[in-house]
Homo-oligomer: A and B are copies of this chain.
Amino acid sequence: MKAIILGIGNELTSGQTVDTNSAWLARRLVAMGIAADSFHVVADDRPAVAAALTDAAAKAELVLVTGGLGPTADDLTRHGLADAMGGVELVLDAPSLVTLEEFFRRIGRTMVPSNSIQVMFPAGSRPILNRNGTAPGIAAKVGSADVYIMPGVPREMRTMFDEQIAPLLPTGGQAIVERILHTFGTGESDLGAKIVDLMQRGLNPTVGTTVAAGLVSVRVSARAATGEAAAEMAEATMAELRRRLGEWVLGEGEATMPSVVGDLLRRAGQTLSTAESCTGGLVGAMITEVSGSSDYYMGGVVSYANRVKRDALGVDEALLAAHGAVSEPVARAMAEGCRAKLATDWSLALTGVAGPTGGSEAKPVGLVYIALAGPAGTEVRRTIFPGDRPTVRMRAAMAALNMLRLALMKGT
């Protein structure tokens, strides 16, 4: 079954509002075994809406539409639908009017005349109940396609889809199970090279990679007659991915770098502190994104100025003078000083040149020393991170957490 999703609104085509409805509907469809073919977004323009509906109905059996059902003059989706249905009339639906009047009574507001356009429907279509708002949806046939039109307000749309529309849809014949595996420590191309055979087109499960939030993630989508069979196929591919990608594998689904590191620390019963210069508190902020992080994270020092490195972390003045703040010995001294002062099992320290200014030939923008002090000693890495200031800082913070992750994995 082929499905197309259509979003309608000037606020979308002008870029003022990001269309999140289409992605939400696509995920719902995937879960029902229906893959969305494409999304289309057009303005609140009667001919554009009619053309988009006609075009989608010619290409797909199912067309899901959101937006343009409001009471104001710029909402024209119902008119565009009437045109796409061959120029039929808009007809008032008496039961919907009763429901609408009831809705206004319930929220204690007076119904203004313009609201009655919301209970007018193209002849041959039928209204869909909206439990959360004033605009009923519309179910119609355009050519041989089933068209369902929902309000653009996400809360109204979601309830309407789940309660009124989803039960009417055929399951796609096949069940689809999606899984996602997050990795860190390599680029998309190096990772792709390890799994190129799994990523060939036409395979089932399909395997694809995406880059987001500093992670390379691998998406597995399996289709089978039953959900159980699809889940089994997806799991077999996930197991193969885990085997091939080894220590790059961070976790699955909702896992993030800070949550994975946190789980490892909690399991080991160990504590962490941070000493940050170029990242200015970012590593601490990331660690504490996780609720319950106070179990293992004690805190840290943001030693932006050299005198804070000296006074709060005990970094030797002579070391700073001899090597400069961005150096291997200072990173080491920051981590060891922090570990001692905050009395934690582990301490991560970062010092570097985040840019865009402050770089030199010897110490270019992007150069970051990351030190990890732990029960078995201190390890320091020197990396030059590419990108602008926020990118360098984010990559350095992720790399620091990953150093700790790998150390904790070796320990367990």
Contacts and interface: CB of A to CB of B under 8 A. Distances in A.
Interface of A: 7, 9-20, 22-30, 35-44, 48, 52, 70-74, 103, 106-109, 112-115, 132, 134, 153, 155, 178, 180, 187-190, 192-193, 196, 199-201, 206, 208-212, 219, 221, 274, 276, 278-285, 287-289, 291-294, 297-305, 307-308, 311-312, 341-343, 354-357, 383-391, 393
| Oligomer: number of copies | 2
Given A284-B284, A292-B357, 6 more contacts: A7-B39, A10-B208, A72-B208, A113-B193, A281-B285, A297-B304
A115 to B, nearest CB: 5
A193 B113 CA distance: 9
Given A16-B210, A208-B10, A52 B38 contact: yes
Chain A interface helix/strand/loop/mixed:
mixed
A25 to B, nearest CB: 7
Contact of A112 (B9, B193, B287): B193
Contacts of A221: 14
A113 to B, nearest CB: 8
B304 A302 contact: no
A298 to B, nearest CB: 4
A114 B178 contact: no
Given A71-B188, A189-B114, A30 B48 contact: no
A186 to B, nearest CB: 9
B23 A107 contact: no
Contact of A38 (B13, B288, B389, B390): B13
Contact of A312 (B30, B38, B341): B341
Given A43-B37, A280-B293, A305-B299, A74 B287 contact: no
Contact of A18 (B20, B283, B301): B20
Contact of A180 (B16, B20, B134, B300): B16
Given A38-B52, A300-B281, A15 B10 contact: no
A188 B70 contact: yes
Given A209-B72, A284-B281, A357-B291, A14 B30 contact: yes
Given A294-B304, A386-B103, A15 B36 contact: yes
Contacts of A180: 16
A212 B17 contact: yes
Given A16-B180, A134-B189, A274-B281, A210 B11 contact: yes
Contacts of A196: 72-73, 114
A348 to B, nearest CB: 12
The 5 closest A-B pairs by CB, nearest first: A280-B288, A281-B284, A281-B281, A15-B26, A72-B192
A26 to B, nearest CB: 3
B20 A291 contact: no
